[in-house]
Amino acid sequence: MPATPESIFRAWFDGVWNRADASTIDRLLHPDGLIHGLSADGQPIRGPRNFMPFYQAFRGAFPDIKVEVQQLMSQGDRAVGLCRVTGAHRGSGLEIPATGRSVEFYGFAMCRTEDGQVVECWNCFDFLGMYKQLGAELSPPPVHRTA
């Protein structure tokens, strides 16, 4: 049976996050695949090699992370899902000392697939809410005004 956008979406979140199977990244992310919405600089992450540091940092911070795909819809070559993320902050992978606190936050991902792989994915997760649950003090960047 050929892979569908829905099956690829579920396999990605189950393999990468729920089973901690890093080989899923190489298998399901196209070598030139783009992942939007996860980098600190706002630029997309390109390919498995460049996604790996994000994965390792997040998994290092939350070794028991679980991503539950609660709703999933697709049209054509795209699937979009509502995800519930849970885990305990036991490592410093996010540049914050481990707090031991549990987090629960939600987000959406929309993935475009081709030939059984993710070729582009847009992420919108409540990372601000996650950091607040960890007790992190966040401040907005300075505003530069021009005359």
DSSP string, 25-85: HHHHEEEEEEEES-STTSPPEEHHHHHHHHHHHHHHH-TT-EEEEEEEEEETTEEEEEEEE
Structure-token pair, residue 103: 């987090």
Q: CA separation (Å) from 22 to 27, 89, 116, 117?
A: 9, 20, 17, 15
At 127 the pLDDT is 95
What is the assigned CATH class of domain 5-133?
Answer: alpha beta
Identify residue 76 by its one-letter amino acid code. Answer: G
CB atoms closer than 10 angstroms to residue 76: 8
Look at residue 136 and give its three-state secondary structure: coil
Least confident range of 2-6, 25-29, 80-84, 134-138: 134-138
Look-up: residue for tokens 């080989």? 23
So what's the pLDDT on residue 50?
97
* Residues 37-91: tens digit of each pLDDT: 999 899 999 999 999 999 999 999 999 999 999 999 999 999 999 999 999 999 9
> For residue 122, what are its two tokens?
């847009």
User: Is the separation of the CB atoms in 119 and 34 below 8 Å?
Assistant: yes
pLDDT at 138 over 90: no
And the tokens for 92? 């410093």
